[in-house]
Amino acid sequence: MALSVRAGRAALAVWLLLPLVPLVLWAAADRWAAPAVLPQAWGTAGLRDAVAAGAGPASVRSTVLGLVVAALATPLGAMAGRALAGSGVPARGAVLGALLSPLVLPPFAVALGLDVLLLRLRVPSSVGVVLLLTVAALPYTTVLMRTAYAAHDPGFEEEARTLGATARRAVLAVQLPMLAPALAGAAFLAFLVGWSDYVVTLLVGGGQLVTLPLLVASAASSVGNEAQVAVLSLGSVLPPLALLVAVGLLGRRR
């Protein structure tokens, strides 16, 4: 039993890491032409080009965007998830459907349609980006938190209340720690939405917010700078991967 679990975990690690191998090779390749199995010349040209293209400030912008979206979408998703897990919401299916609708609509059409509305309302472009991406992240946080609340036993908080805790304290000291793994998972997904978006950031943001996905897309649309694209892609993939491991460890500790 333990052996098969370990084998499964190893298989998962290989599954996740294998696609990164060519990326890592490309990132360190100054020259790699077929049919060579390995790069003919190693170097840091890709890194240099990526830095010259503005990878540094772009990752900062991506991080801030991801964090802001996570900070907004996680509590909103928790509230919506909690309400939907209970029985107090009328027409629950319809409400859930409305919350999930961003998953169904093509993001390109949504971005373009709402772009005009936001421009008409004179909403600053960075606020518009955060607003739209938060809405796009809500389905993930809501569904995750709804499941967590459905499995959550409110008895623990009632226990705390009978022992004299205020309602606020019961939530902060009892409910939140118990739901922390789910909250971390929801925040991770919301962060990913902000971190990896292209269409909304470019069109609604009006090009003012040059994030990593914008650099990756424009660099990848050409030939001859595979090393730079590889470095930029690794820069986009590794932070979420590290976060995923962190969230996983947090979940296992409990």
Partner 1 sequence: MPTGRRRSIAAGAALLALAGCAAPAAEAPVAADRPWDDVLAEADGQTVDLWMYGGEEAGSAYVDDVLAPAAAELGVTLRRVPVSDTGDALDRVLSERQAGVTDGEVDLVWVNGENYAAGRQAGAWLCDWALDLPNRQYTDPDDPLLSSDFGVPVEGCESPWHKAQFTLVYDSARVPEPPTTMAGVLDWAQANPGRFTYPAPPDFTGSVFVRQVLTSVVGGPGEVPVEFSQEAYDEYAPALFDRLAALRPALWRGGDTYPQSQQELDRLFADGEVDMTMTYGPATLADLVADGTFPETTRVLTLEEGTFGNASFLALPSTSGDSAGAQVVADLALSPEQQAAKADPGTWGQFTVLDLGLLEEADRAAFEALPASPVVPPYEELSENAQPELSADWVSPLDEGWRRSVLAP
Structure tokens at 114: 């709402």
Comparison of 110 and 160: residue with beta carbon closer to partner 1 = 110
Q: Which is nearer to partner 1, 142 or 211 (CB)?
A: 211
Rule CB under 8 A: is residue 29 a binding residue for partner 1?
no
As given in the structure block, the two tokens for residue 81 are 């998830």
Identity of residue 188: F
Cβ-based neighbour number of residue 229 at 10 Å: 23
- 28 binds partner 1 per the rule CB under 8 A: no
Q: How far is CA 170 from CA 146, 161, 208, in A?
A: 19, 7, 43
Residue whose entry in the numeric block shows the structure tokens 């019961």: 170
Q: Does 53 bind partner 1 (CB under 8 A)?
A: yes
Site residues (CB under 8 A) for partner 1, limited to 106-135? 108-110, 112-117, 119-120, 125
Query: Is residue 34 near partner 1 by the rule CB under 8 A?
Result: yes
Residues 6+ apart with CB under 8 A from 100: 139, 142, 143
Nearer to partner 1, 8 or 124 (CB): 124
Nearer to partner 1, 29 or 160 (CB): 29
The reply to whether 3 sits near partner 1 by the rule CB under 8 A is: no
Ramachandran sector of residue 2 (left: φ over 0; alpha: ψ -120 to 50; beta: rest) = alpha
Binding site for partner 1 (CB under 8 A): 31, 33-35, 41, 49, 52-53, 108-110, 112-117, 119-120, 125, 202-203, 206-208, 210, 214-215, 217-225, 228
